[in-house]
Structure 1
Amino acid sequence: MDGELASWLSSLHASAGDFVDALAAFGRTMLLPSRLQQIALALVLAALAWLAARPLGARMEDWMRGLEGRPKWQLRAFIILRRRLPLILFVGMIWLAAGLFAALYSFPSRRYVLVLVATIASAWLAIRLAAQLIRNRLLRNVVVWGLSLWATLYYLGLLDETSDALDAIAVTFGDFRLSALAVIKALALTAALFMAARTLTIASSRRIRTVRDISPSVQELLVKLLRIGLYGAAFFIGLKAVGFDLTGLAVLSGAIGVGLGFGLQKVVSNLVSGVIILLDKSVKPGDVISLGDTFGWIEELGARYVSVVTRDGKEYLIPNEDLITGQVVNWSHTNNFVRLDIFFGTAYGDDPHLVRKVAVEAAKSVDRVLSHRPPVCHITGFGDSSVDYILRFWITDPTGGLTNIRGNVYLALWDAFKAHGISIPFPQREVRVLNDSLAIDTGGAPGSDAVPDRPSGADFDPSQVSGPTSSKGLGKGAP
């Protein structure tokens, strides 16, 4: 009897267990969220991530303000994370939801939508973070949106269908067929090659400019040749990779070249002149030049122009042809020594030997004037009211300006002459009126400058004349 009861109870327990398992399986099957519900959940999580990113972003900005003094790459990394904070939060939330559904339900197909959305969102985040290495904003946006679209189609399984649809949109030129898919591939490949060429050009340029055995002009020439070669190779490799026939392009480029030769003579002339300037080393970056009224130092040698920066901050873009055909004063062509001349005069009563000595000592007292190339002072002539001198001195930093150093030397001369009692005269003029007809013509009107009647010839006494008879500007050193 006890055995039958135990057997019955055991059978009942097994049946109850089977019933509970069946009921649980039914509940999981019927209560599992549908794909539409998962999409709705993903949208809700995206909205929550966007809302949560606003206060978190504000707090993160406050925290970043206290990071002054950190390396620039760290600050840039924090700024990038701040900008991508909504997407980062959404990726974290969607993966957490997918993990919870995986723990609750054992049907992978029922949580497929959440996993798919999480995967695509993670791909978008990785693309946007990696694209920050591209400095050009337009190119970065093109890369971000292009790769994001490709990743979305790839994970949705629509890449082949999209490729077939784009390949069907095509035009035919004889034996050559050009489709939309080929154009997109060419643009993508060419953009990637241009990015690689730009990276190699920047790295190589920095390396070339560190080689001290190569002159600056040859460095610029090597950099430009490298840039043209890499970008040209990227362009033609991109065309060849999509099956474009370069033979026809060669004929077309020849015809275009003839047309450009006639229509763009100045442009071609400037390009050739730029190459000549780099080869003959007539000017180079850092040289101080004068071209007409423009005085400054060369900032950059371009393919078409030379950038010259003046002392007042203006940047002149001078065509290369002007430097080849015109007269250019290169103050630092072979060396940085520049001689400057200033002119002055002193009174005839001053000792010229003392004047020369004082002028030389005054020039030496100025900081930028070289002492190992001492200044000299010479008499250049005897003027109407002064003895004329020239003071010559040397400097080695013309980029520091020429007008300011002349002004400093003039101030030093002024102080030195004042200390030694040396005067600087100014031109003297004496006006005498000797003709009585002026008084008759003016009629001697009251308040006028008419000369009164006076004796003429030997009887004329200047003391009797008032008004216009004057001697003005008489000072020390007057003749």
Structure 2
Amino acid sequence: MDPTQISDALTSTGSQVATLLSNLTRQWNLYQVAIMVLCLLAALGAGRVLGGRMREWMRTLEGHPKWQLRVLLSVQKRLWLIFWAAILWAVWLVMHETTWPSRSYLIAGLAKVVTAWVVVSFAARLVRNSLLRKIVTWGLWAYFTLYFLGGLDQGLALLDSAAVEFGAFRLSLLSVGKALVVTGLLFTLARLISGQASAQIRKNEDISPSMRVLMTKVLQVSLYASAFFIGLKAVGFDLTGLAVLSGAIGVGIGFGLQKVVSNLVSGFIILLDKSVKPGDVISLGETFGWINALGARYVSVVTRDGKEYLIPNEDLITSQVVNWSHSNNYVRLDINFGTAYGDDPHLVRRVAIEATQSVRRVSQDRPTVCHIVGFGDSSVDYVLRFWITDPTEGLTNVRGNVFLALWDAFQAHGINIPFPQREVRVLGDSTGAEDAPKDTVSPAGPRES
């Protein structure tokens, strides 16, 4: 830091502050200060009373969009500031018409400052990051305050004098503040543009879902990176040294964050080869669900019970994944059942197929088949195979509906579903061979005694 520059800036600022204080000691200036304080007290009182009533009214609103409620909440929090600006302008208009302009110029200056504060407070809401929003808000408040009070040049000179130099590189508080404010504004602009463009991309049905996600990610990265570097360049940073430094940092990050980089690269591979896309139903290990979103580092998979699993992209590349809807939405399901030996197998097959095809979700485009697969100890065993086209709606529920349809159809046609039974006879003399337990099967079903 250059002590001479700092001393000159402080001297200039101090003399201006002394001049301002000397002007305030004049009689009419003191009156204006008192009027401004009274206006502030009136605004605080009105904001407190009407703010509470407005909050109670907002609680009665139902069915309104969230953005409208956010706007109303922002207005409610800043009611006192809005009232202060309005009261100051009203007082200035009255005094400007009834007395000399020199007797109301301080009120006019403060009205401009408070109005600028109100505008900045609402405009800064576009910046989502809370820390960056506070920096932008306070930076613009300070800028407009100094601008309307006539101390902008001295304030900028004071911030510019507080600097650190490394050879040809000079970093001052002024350049840092400019960088934060400009970068924050550019980031907000990039977010608005990417949001609108992403919405248009998602609506385009001619683009595959995976390509929509890829285009959205590339657009967002490009816009935010451009905003960052343009913001640095706009305030005078030399990007040559930053490029060399970022290259060295990139090598170190590459070794320390191999898994993270692997997931990022895997994410782009997944988007390019279209192996999975939002809406697909997949199975990975014991996880079964549909893909909710494709992220840069992970894939969000939602199961039927509402659990959301964040699966790293690398696992989808290196592990065996069952994609139930990769090339088409047809999924075949198998159901095993058995009937009594006394039932006609031809009738059983026909009734089972008809009952299955009566279920709503069973596809009529592909045939339902029923085959005998064996003669068991107590039943003739069958396998029933049918197709569905909406695996995202669940598999267990459609199986349950088919089982219920089979039960109703078998009851209507007198078809029995047997199960093993055992008769145990306890005799007085346990030495005979007839005392041993006997396994039998009843065609109408088992009994146990």
Same-fold call, TM > 0.5?
A: yes
Instruction: Give the direction of change, closer, same or farther, for the CA distance of 1:73–1:36 in structure 2 (3 Å limit).
Output: same
2:373 is aligned to 380
Instruction: Give the direction of change, closer, same or farther, for the CA distance of 1:470–1:356 in structure 2 (3 Å limit).
Output: closer
1:222 is aligned to 215
Instruction: Give the direction of change, closer, same or farther, for the CA distance of 1:269–1:164 in structure 2 (3 Å limit).
Output: same
1:426 aligns with 2:419: yes
2:444 is aligned to 476
1:246 aligns with 2:239: yes
Whether the aligned pair in 2 keeps the contact of 1:346 and 1:388 (CA below 8 Å) is: yes
Note the C-alpha offset of 1:133.
Answer: 3.9
Note the C-alpha offset of 1:472.
Answer: 8.8
Note the C-alpha offset of 1:430.
Answer: 6.0
Whether the aligned pair in 2 keeps the contact of 1:171 and 1:177 (CA below 8 Å) is: yes
1:144 aligns with 2:133: no
2:8 is aligned to none
1:35 is aligned to 29
- Please give the alpha-carbon distance, in whole angstroms, between the structure 2 residues aligned to 1:74 and 1:221: 32
Structure 2 residue corresponding to 1:405, chosen from 390, 398, 404: 398
Whether the aligned pair in 1 keeps the contact of 2:96 and 2:104 (CA below 8 Å) is: yes
What amino acid is the match of 1:90?
W
- Please give the alpha-carbon distance, in whole angstroms, between the structure 2 residues aligned to 1:69 and 1:33: 55
What amino acid is the match of 2:124?
A
- Please give the alpha-carbon distance, in whole angstroms, between the structure 1 residues aligned to 2:160 and 2:152: 12
1:158 aligns with 2:126: no
2:76 is aligned to 82
Whether the aligned pair in 1 keeps the contact of 2:135 and 2:180 (CA below 8 Å) is: no
What amino acid is the match of 1:243?
G
What amino acid is the match of 1:363?
T
Instruction: Give the direction of change, closer, same or farther, for the CA distance of 1:67–1:212 in structure 2 (3 Å limit).
Output: same
1:258 aligns with 2:251: yes
Whether the aligned pair in 2 keeps the contact of 1:429 and 1:471 (CA below 8 Å) is: yes
- Please give the alpha-carbon distance, in whole angstroms, between the structure 1 residues aligned to 2:42 and 2:446: 93
2:299 is aligned to 306
What amino acid is the match of 1:418?
Q
Instruction: Give the direction of change, closer, same or farther, for the CA distance of 1:219–1:417 in structure 2 (3 Å limit).
Output: same
2:110 is aligned to 117
Note the C-alpha offset of 1:477.
Answer: 5.6
Structure 2 residue corresponding to 1:195, chosen from 188, 205, 211: 188
1:94 aligns with 2:62: no
TM-score of the aligned structures, taking structure 2 as reference length: 0.86
- Please give the alpha-carbon distance, in whole angstroms, between the structure 2 residues aligned to 1:203 and 1:374: 46
- Please give the alpha-carbon distance, in whole angstroms, between the structure 2 residues aligned to 1:79 and 1:429: 74
- Please give the alpha-carbon distance, in whole angstroms, between the structure 2 residues aligned to 1:65 and 1:255: 54
Moved more, 322-331 or 241-250: 241-250
Instruction: Give the direction of change, closer, same or farther, for the CA distance of 1:214–1:51 in structure 2 (3 Å limit).
Output: same
What amino acid is the match of 2:262?
S
What amino acid is the match of 1:204?
A
Any idea what the Cα deviations from partners look like across 1:117-174, whole Å, max 9, x if unmatched?
Answer: 1111111112223334445544443332221221112112222222122112221212
1:330 aligns with 2:297: no
What amino acid is the match of 2:175?
A
Secondary structure of 1:285's match? coil
Instruction: Give the direction of change, closer, same or farther, for the CA distance of 1:71–1:277 in structure 2 (3 Å limit).
Output: closer
Instruction: Give the direction of change, closer, same or farther, for the CA distance of 1:53–1:246 in structure 2 (3 Å limit).
Output: closer
Note the C-alpha offset of 1:61.
Answer: 4.8
Extract unaligned runs of 5+ from structure 2.
Answer: 1-25
Whether the aligned pair in 1 keeps the contact of 2:410 and 2:416 (CA below 8 Å) is: yes
What amino acid is the match of 2:223?
L
CA RMSD of aligned residues (A): 2.6
Using the aligned pairs only, state the percent identity: 62
Whether the aligned pair in 2 keeps the contact of 1:349 and 1:477 (CA below 8 Å) is: no
Any idea what the Cα deviations from partners look like across 1:318-338, whole Å, max 9, x if unmatched?
Answer: 111111111111111111111
- Please give the alpha-carbon distance, in whole angstroms, between the structure 2 residues aligned to 1:362 and 1:225: 51
Secondary structure of 2:222's match? helix
Instruction: Give the direction of change, closer, same or farther, for the CA distance of 1:477–1:186 in structure 2 (3 Å limit).
Output: same
- Please give the alpha-carbon distance, in whole angstroms, between the structure 2 residues aligned to 1:227 and 1:358: 57
Larger RCO, structures 1/2 (Cα 8 Å, 6+ apart) = 2
Secondary structure of 1:370's match? coil
Count of residues in correspondence between the two structures: 422
1:48 aligns with 2:42: yes
- Please give the alpha-carbon distance, in whole angstroms, between the structure 2 residues aligned to 1:461 and 1:388: 31
What amino acid is the match of 1:247?
T
Note the C-alpha offset of 1:279.
Answer: 0.7
Any idea what the Cα deviations from partners look like across 1:42-101, whole Å, max 9, x if unmatched?
Answer: 122211112122333344456556765667766655444333322222122111222222
Extract unaligned runs of 5+ from structure 1.
Answer: 1-31, 434-450
- Please give the alpha-carbon distance, in whole angstroms, between the structure 1 residues aligned to 2:420 and 2:445: 10
- Please give the alpha-carbon distance, in whole angstroms, between the structure 2 residues aligned to 1:454 and 1:428: 22
What amino acid is the match of 2:377?
D
Instruction: Give the direction of change, closer, same or farther, for the CA distance of 1:236–1:64 in structure 2 (3 Å limit).
Output: closer
Whether the aligned pair in 1 keeps the contact of 2:282 and 2:289 (CA below 8 Å) is: yes
- Please give the alpha-carbon distance, in whole angstroms, between the structure 2 residues aligned to 1:33 and 1:129: 36
What amino acid is the match of 2:289?
G
Structure 2 residue corresponding to 1:126, chosen from 95, 116, 119: 119
Whether the aligned pair in 2 keeps the contact of 1:359 and 1:416 (CA below 8 Å) is: yes
TM-score of the aligned structures, taking structure 1 as reference length: 0.81
Secondary structure of 1:369's match? coil
- Please give the alpha-carbon distance, in whole angstroms, between the structure 2 residues aligned to 1:64 and 1:312: 35
Instruction: Give the direction of change, closer, same or farther, for the CA distance of 1:169–1:477 in structure 2 (3 Å limit).
Output: same
Whether the aligned pair in 2 keeps the contact of 1:385 and 1:477 (CA below 8 Å) is: no
Instruction: Give the direction of change, closer, same or farther, for the CA distance of 1:368–1:454 in structure 2 (3 Å limit).
Output: closer
Structure 2 residue corresponding to 1:347, chosen from 328, 340, 344: 340
